Amino acid sequence: MTRPAPIPVNEPLLDGNEEKYLVECIRTGWISSEGPFVARFEEQFAARVGRKHGVAVANGSVALDAAVVALGIGAGDEVIMPTSTIISCAAAVVRAGAKPVLVDCDADTWNMDVGAIESRITPRTRAVMPVHIFGLPVDMDPLLALARKHGLKVIEDAAEVIGQTYRSRPCGSLGDLSTFSFYPNKHVTTGEGGMIVTDDAVLAEKCRSLRNLCFKPEQRFVHDELGWNFRLSNLQAALGVAQLERLDESVAIKRRMGERYTALLRGARGLQLPVARTPYAENIYWVYGLVLEDDVSFDAREAMARLARLGIGTRPFFWPMHEQPVLRRMGLFEGERYPAAERIARRGFYIPSGMALTDEQIERTAAAIKELLR
């Protein structure tokens, strides 16, 4: 009997205007960041998330680097963030010479525990970096109230929630600077890419300058500050414009995927499923995460290995920042413990969640998971 084809953890859908716009780039010769799709993508993306300015960059990680530096965060400053996140968040703060200060995550939503933020504020705190995890937003109103009360900037990492809203406001409209990623597993992909959005013209200009080596506008090749080449190419932006045209459809596809998985897996022994809705949002399932309950005799690593043998792609949850060897070697987070994040890092993983996933693949994945837990 032939084995069914493996199910990749992610596969993008590129069957809209992507090819047409790419051909346009090639025919016109506009392939660099100077091409017209870049400004078009910036304007349309910013408008979609209700912001005045969009600054397209090379990926979602450098978007955070530029955001931190644009806000003037540096040596002696502290930025509060979840421990359960991608390294890009802590790396941006550390590279700027500042210190990441951590909070645990909520055991149900896997998002930063907003109630834990205030006790972490010190006279050195300059900003909070909420990170919306796996398609469900952080509870932003109390976080924004705290930021206002303590005069803190908000860097909103909205990489995983393109098309999501928080109490009907677009995710990405809630930070002083908000950032996105367009890696192929995102609801909008450009292959590699990212965006910083803001309503503040001065901050937007600062980000534009940082993205482009901080060339002095009036004297090219003269620099008052150090920037990077974080530019997005016209080819990438062309993909972005086409992807943005279908964002509503993409969100609907992911919601359908999430609902289907939940219907199939509800009641399975030993599994914590993603929260479908909170008082402030309905999950858009950037990825469909699972956490093994404590009475399951194996951990996420073992579950992923067993699923891999059945041809089912998975990825682990984030490994917490306070357990990162590279950060610990810098003397950070000595003796700190965050039990909820430690637990989901060991017992959490996500299953195939791409835009191109078929019903048959969803059903096969769910059946394999149920079999694993029998």
Ligand X SMILES: Cc1ncc(COP(=O)(O)O)c(C=O)c1O
Q: Which chain residues interact with ligand X by CB under 6 A?
A: 59-61, 85-86, 88, 131, 157, 159-160, 181, 183, 194
Reduced to 3 states, what is the DSSP secondary structure of residue 190? coil
Shortest Cβ distance from residue 46 to ligand X (Å)? 18
Q: To the nearest whole angstrom, how small is the minimum distance from the Cβ of residue 247 to ligand X?
A: 17
- Alpha-carbon span 154 to 144, nearest angstrom: 8
Residue 236 beta carbon to ligand X: minimum distance, rounded to whole angstroms: 11
Closest CB 156 distance from ligand X, rounded Å? 10
Nearer to ligand X, 155 or 253 (CB): 155
Q: Which is nearer to ligand X, 49 or 368 (CB)?
A: 49
Residue 265 or 286 having the CB closest to ligand X? 286
Closest separation between CB of residue 281 and ligand X, Å? 16
- Distance in angstroms (rounded) separating the CA atoms of residues 223 and 206: 13
With the CA atoms of 193, 184, 324 and 302 taken in that order, what torsion angle do they form, in degrees rounded to the nearest 10?
180
The rounded Cα 340 to chain-centroid distance in angstroms is 20
Place of tokens 């609801």: 187
Torsional class of 311: left (φ above 0), alpha (ψ -120 to 50), beta (otherwise) = left
Tokens found for residue 91:
């790396």
Q: In the bound complex, which residue of the shown chain has the CB atom lying closest to ligand X?
A: 60
Q: How many Å apart are CA 55 and CA 194, to the nearest integer?
A: 9
Question: Least distance in Å: CB of 301 to ligand X?
Answer: 20
Q: Which is nearer to ligand X, 183 or 285 (CB)?
A: 183
DSSP class of residue 361? H
Q: Between 139 and 157, whose beta carbon lies closer to ligand X?
A: 157
Q: Are 83 and 112 in contact (CB under 8 A)?
A: no
Helices 247-265 and 234-245, packing angle to 10 deg: 60
Integer Cα distance of 334 and 337 in angstroms: 9
Q: Using an 8 Å Cβ cutoff, are 245 and 47 in contact?
A: no
For the CB of residue 363, give the shortest distance to ligand X in the complex, in Å.
27
Of 91 and 303, which has the nearer Cβ to ligand X? 91
Measuring CA to CA, which residue among 81, 69, 259, 283 is closest to residue 171? Answer: 283
**Closer to ligand X at the Cβ: 67 or 291?**
67
Q: In angstroms, what is the minimal distance from the CB of 89 to ligand X? A: 6
- Structure tokens belonging to residue 280: 């402030």
Which residue, 24 or 323, has its beta carbon nearer to ligand X? 323
| DSSP line for 193-212 | -EEEEES-HHHHHHHHHHHB
Nearest approach in angstroms of CB 123 to ligand X is 28
- Grouping H, G, I as helix, E, B as strand and the rest as coil, residue 158 is coil
In whole angstroms, what is the distance from residue 132 CA to residue 164 CA? 10
Q: Whose Cβ is closer to ligand X: residue 45's or residue 368's?
A: 45
